[in-house]
Copies of this chain bind each other. A is one copy, B any other.
Amino acid sequence: MTPEWIAVDWGTSNLRAWAMGAQGVLASAGSDDGMGKLAPAQFEAALLRVIAPWLGSGVTPVIACGMVGARQGWVEAPYRAVPCAPAAPGDLMAVATADPRLQVMIAPGLRQDKPADVMRGEETQIAGALALLPNFDGVFCLPGTHSKWAHVSAGEVVSFQTFMTGELFALLSQQSVLRHGMGGEGDDDAAFQQGFADALERPEKVSARLFTLRAEGLLNGLSPASARSRLSGLLIGLELAAAKPYWLGQRIALIGAPALSARYTAALAAQGAASETLDATACTLAGLAAARGVLQKAKP
């Protein structure tokens, strides 16, 4: 098996790669050699450890997105400023490699000057989503560690905004005083909806509601599953309160992990907002393919 090209999603914590043929994915592989633990000189070896089995005698194009293109990454791929298309001809950053079988190109991230914001990797998922939903006009929501909301119109990202929802959830549930009441597994949908409604209606009260979770655990025996679900609802509610100008009255598509996307779907539905959900990996692959296709058209 020799792939036509190799797709790479290279984030802070992980590296994922797919061997791509004419019909799509031939094989996939990955490692935990994320950008966060590599010096620039270590990226090529980390890539080869994952994709070497797929390389033939010729040159194989490798298209990568994510934090690999950050200033602290392999080679910096400077941000492109919105409004702009999420993938653009000629803006892939070529990376010199010692191994002559590699032709590595990194997709740049997007920047917004006011309010200041940046993304790396999500622009490729948005490009893929536009390939999967041609003529989409509305907002993409990419929930996660740093949730992104992007307004897309006429094939361009018009504006976007980042929320630290997932990172706040991780810090509060695992490292703050709230961790004492959040161990174990399981979800409580009613508690999620209660937290969500509280935060959406009274967002200014969220920092008070946080400690209430601890106090209810001490005084009323609030279960860890309920506390964790209510925390998730509070933080997603705070995000949706701030993102309202994005989603109100718009077509909404979610791009994210299934369980998390399902929470956003339920939360939006509780506000009367319908949404559709796209598979995150499918969007990444379609976006990298779009970047490559654009490249080929630009350099025939």
Nearest-neighbor residue (CB-CB) of A218 within chain B: B118
Residues 83-130 of A contacting B (Cβ, < 8 Å): 111-113, 115-118
Give chain A interface residues in 158-180, CB to chain B under 8 Å.
Answer: 161-165, 167-168, 171-172, 175-177
Q: Name the contact of A164 in the complex, choosing from B176, B205, B220, B242 (C-beta under 8 A).
A: B176
A163 touching B239, Cβ below 8 Å: no
Q: Is A13 an interface residue (CB 8 A)?
A: no
Count identical subunits in the complex: 2
Q: Given A118-B215, A146-B211, A204-B242, decide whether A176 and B165 contact each other with a Cβ distance below 8 A.
A: no
Interface of A is mostly: helix
What chain B residues lie within 8 Å of A115 (beta carbons)? 208, 212, 215
* B207 in contact with A242 (CB, 8 Å): yes
Interchain CB contact under 8 A, B239 and A207:
yes
Residues B118 and A204 in contact, CB atoms below 8 Å apart: no
Contact with A235, one of B203, B205, B207 (Cβ below 8 angstroms): B207
Q: What distance in Å separates the Cβ of A153 from its nearest Cβ neighbour in chain B?
A: 21
Note all chain B residues with C-beta closer than 8 A to A242: 204-208
Within the complex, the shortest CB–CB distance from A28 to chain B, in Å, comes to 28
26 interchain pairs, CB-CB under 8 A: A79-B219, A115-B212, A116-B215, A117-B211, A117-B212, A117-B215, A118-B215, A118-B218, A118-B219, A146-B211, A161-B208, A162-B215, A163-B207, A163-B210, A164-B210, A165-B207, A167-B177, A168-B207, A171-B171, A175-B175, A203-B204, A204-B242, A205-B242, A206-B238, A207-B242, A208-B242
